[in-house]
Structure 1
Amino acid sequence: MAKFADKVIIVTGASSGIGQSTAELLAKEGAKVAITGRSEKGLEETKQLMLKAGGNEEKILTIAADVTNEEDTKRIVAETVKKFGKLDILVNNAGAGTMEGYPDSSIAQPLLVYDYINNLNARSVIALCQEAIPHLKASKGNIVNVSSIGSLRASPNFMYYQMAKAALDHFTRILAAQLAPEGVRVNVVNPGAIRTNWLARTGIPQAAVDALEKSWLNVWLPMRRVGEPIEIAKTIAFLASDDASYITGQMIVADGGAVIATVPMPKDTSR
């Protein structure tokens, strides 16, 4: 039997990257999946990938929505429960490193950038959880949040983003402690460098992205490769599955070893 047969799952940020791969994998494993994102074109692409993977059209719900809009967060959960009758798993994947029109999310950027980044990466997760929790208590379900190793490091160019992800990590731990007696698990995945359009969306030219990738491979990535979205999707699926039934409040870092990387010291030429 498929691992997620009869499970109802919401995946946010499902129009590309990690969210898209997660939705595709869950559909392959028999889940009923509500995919949501702002790009209708991207959601349609995701739906076709889900069908190609063996998903059933009747088990897919597409919801074009903006998770930073509270009415939309209510609609995402309400429409999912209306179609499928319940909710078992919430995957909070939607996020971004900066705001369109701004090169980064550093202290040099105005507070409207901070507000946007925090609303998307942290506040929207709280809003969705508030709507989903009554249903998850009923199903003894679980929540998987998608954070970043940015919460564990200090990059001045992405200050607001890393602050929001650090808040998301701690929110996960606190919510897990609160919901554990109710039989609801809450965990978080912290990806490192993954081959998505994340950097391109910040406005960095592709040539610069390629150069960054080479530098990551040589200095910051002990495994010497950038990760693929499906690798994070599999990690999300593990935490969401019964295989992780005794795991809650935990952070799983999937980064090719970036956090443990040792930066080479410059050669001492004075001797």
Structure 2
Amino acid sequence: MSVVYDFTGKVVLITGSSAGMGEGIALLFAKSGANVVITGRNAERVAKVAKQCTDVSPKQLTALEVVGNLTNKEDCNRLIETTVQTFGKIDVLVNNAGIDCLVEITDECYYEKFLTTINTNLNIAVYMTHKCVPYLAKTRGNIINIATIGAKRASSDSSPYNISKAALIMFTKCMAAELGPKHHIRVNVVNPGITLTDFECESMGFNREESDRKLTAIGIQLPVGRVGQVSDTASIVGYLASNAAEFITGSEYVADGGQLVGNVFDSNTDY
């Protein structure tokens, strides 16, 4: 990341921040002086990322750890309440929590996996936004949602994921139109392409060797010659949350290394 942001005094809540993309986003905000909230289902991972954030914080600010399953409303409520009780406010909400799966419509388990994916990728973001609006209105804060370039095209075996993220993009636009005039809250969405994280291994059932081989093969086909790093997406999130983007709302930002324009896809590569 070549640009250094200053989020001193800001409180940033990132869902799905105990690994992968969310971890990278949390580290960027921590490096930039923000108080960050780390949340996930695995207490060990949450603690690990929280410590990393504290270590890179210019003033060694202690990251807040909240362990929970955000598909439960009670855990969402506890996350928000704990954040406000600890820091007194919320300035930025990053809706990053997400899962993926490879499943076809004819599979017996399709509908169950569809519901699980929608609940995680869309419903959490909707509920967190709904509950955080009163706090974000007080700080004239902003929301950044993490979708995917997979929402921009059809694929044969990732329909639950693509549908959930396409809906998240429309939710972003609707909220930008609604929350700007009434509450002075900006809302934007980032669409990453294929990115080097453990997401594919854990969510899609690939082992590390398979994943690395696949990512390397795809990366050399991209116009920029490599797959994405979490910092590529995190830097855009930082920009959208900053004062430099105060005139931007309802926008989609693509960070895919040219994957869309280069038509670099197969049935298992859409993120």
- TM-score, scaled to structure 1: 0.91
Question: 1:38-117 residue pairs with structure 2 within 5 A?
Answer: 38-54=41-57, 56=59, 58-98=61-101, 104-107=102-105, 108=107, 109-117=109-117
Equivalent residue for 1:10?
13
Offset at residue 34 of structure 1 (A): 1.1
Offset at residue 218 of structure 1 (A): 4.1
Offset at residue 2 of structure 1 (A): 6.1
Equivalent residue for 1:157?
157
Query: Could you tell me how far apart the structure 2 residues matched to 1:156 and 1:20 are?
Result: 30
Unaligned runs of 5+ in 1: 99-103, 265-271
Equivalent residue for 2:268?
none
Offset at residue 106 of structure 1 (A): 2.9
Number of residue pairs the alignment of both structures matches: 258
Offset at residue 176 of structure 1 (A): 0.5
8 Å Cα contact 1:106/1:160 also seen in 2: no
Query: Could you tell me how far apart the structure 2 residues matched to 1:10 and 1:69 are?
Result: 17
Partner AA of 2:262 in structure 1: A
CA displacement 1:111-139 (0-9 Å, x = unmatched) = 11111000000011001001100111111
Offset at residue 192 of structure 1 (A): 0.5
Query: Could you tell me how far apart the structure 1 residues matched to 2:10 and 2:54 are?
Result: 17
- 3-state SS, counterpart of residue 186 of structure 1: strand
Equivalent residue for 1:228?
229
Question: 1:153-192 residue pairs with structure 2 within 5 A?
Answer: 153-181=153-181, 182-192=183-193
Offset at residue 18 of structure 1 (A): 1.1
Unaligned runs of 5+ in 2: 266-271
- Greater Cα radius of gyration, structure 1 or 2: 1
Equivalent residue for 1:121?
121
- 3-state SS, counterpart of residue 6 of structure 2: coil
Equivalent residue for 1:268?
none
8 Å Cα contact 1:31/1:59 also seen in 2: no
8 Å Cα contact 2:226/2:257 also seen in 1: yes
Matched, 1:204 2:211: no
8 Å Cα contact 2:12/2:92 also seen in 1: yes
Partner AA of 2:254 in structure 1: V
- TM-score, scaled to structure 2: 0.91
The percentage of aligned residue pairs carrying the same residue is 36
